[in-house]
Amino acid sequence: MTPDALNPPTPVPQAIATPLTRAAIFLVVTVHPGEPASAAVRSICADLPALLRSVGFRDQEGHLSCIIGFGSEAWDRLFGDPRPAELHPFHEFHAENRHAIATPGDVLFHIRADRMDLCFELATVMMTTLGDAVAVADEVQGFQYFDNRDLLGFVDGTENPEGQAAVDAVLIGDEDPAFAGGSYVILQKYLHDMAGWNALPTEMQERIIGRTKFANADLDPALKPSSAHNALTIIIENGMEIKIVRYNMPFGNPGQGEFGTYFIGYSKSPRTIELMLENMFVGRPPGNYDRLLDFSRPVTGNLFFVPAASLLDSLAVVPKAVLEDAPKTPASADAPTLSPEHDGALMIGSLKGNPQ
């Protein structure tokens, strides 16, 4: 064993704990059956930095980034063992007519920049690279709306932690050392009943959200109901509030009467966001649900694991377990091969960021 394996470098995370941008594309795809399709997706793990450079050089002040994440079933198909400790299918929550649904999705590409054209170009290049290996399950273009407000008129993301607090909130550490530097992300696409919402007096809207609409101040505790959105989404453990990082964006098609918010939350454990969703949809206590759901409904729901950037190169290597499970076919010039340095397994040293 090399000294590097005994003392692996600190994992380098993907660009999660970074400031909000003016534009984003949320691209969720499913991977077609078969090893060729899986190989194409694994390859983009190693190609991602080059693709970012090829587009981002056009405006180096555009803050172009792309976060890639994988669903539970896709992880098993693409990479096998080991797997992230808390990766599982999206948990649905259902109470009365409120339903946090689960929808198909193997891979997430969360593309962000200060210019939509950069996001659009990178999405185009990536989909061209993947070709017929994947099918689009959902694609949403988000935009900044005035001073970071959602289409309901309230400032979104006010409670996001910043700096080291954001890093601590989203990045896995010693609790899952093989996947340190990674994160979990839950996303839901919400559609709003704007006619119903706009018919409410501003004071009632503020009681539902838990903040003032124009000044963006926390509502007076004497006026804030326990069912307020920002009350139900506070998670306390051992006397400490557990934070997440949200990168929500508005989206819509006015000509089709579609107005919505794309919720996307990062956390070092999916359990935090799942508790928030349970409080919203079921209630805390049960029945004391988030009244915002009377005007907003989710039409998608996914959970993904976001590996550390220093792990992505290793994920491009075909795991031995995946090869052994694949149907046996005659060798061809197009078949993926392993380099002599690798035995086909995910090397724990490389999981911690060793150069390949």
Catalytic annotation, residues: 156
The CA-based angle 353-19-46, given to 5 degrees, is 30
Closest by CA to 96, choosing from 275, 288, 256, 315, is 288
- Paired tokens of 269: 């454990």
Nearest alpha carbon to residue 277 among 290, 296, 268? 290
Taking alpha carbons only, the member of 295, 279, 298 closest to residue 287 is 279
319-to-203, 336, 348 alpha-carbon distances in Å: 57, 11, 12
- Cα–Cα nearest to 296, from 215, 190, 201, 196: 190
Torsion of the alpha carbons at 266, 124, 138 and 245, rounded to the nearest 10: 10
Residue 89: cis peptide before it, omega within 30 degrees of 0: no
Residue 239: partners with Cβ closer than 8 Å, 6 or more residues away: none
- Tell me the two tokens of residue 265: 């939350």
Amino acid identity of 99? H
Q: Which amino acid is at 132?
A: D
Q: With contact defined as beta carbons under 8 Å apart, do 284 and 232 qualify?
A: yes
265, 271 Cβ separation under 8 angstroms = no
Give the three-state DSSP class for 335. Answer: coil
Rounded (5°) CA angle 32-122-181: 75
Structure tokens at 222: 């004497």
Q: Based on the number of CB atoms within 10 Å of its own CB, is 125 exposed (0-12), middle (13-18) or buried (19 or more)?
A: middle
Residue with tokens 């792990």: 311
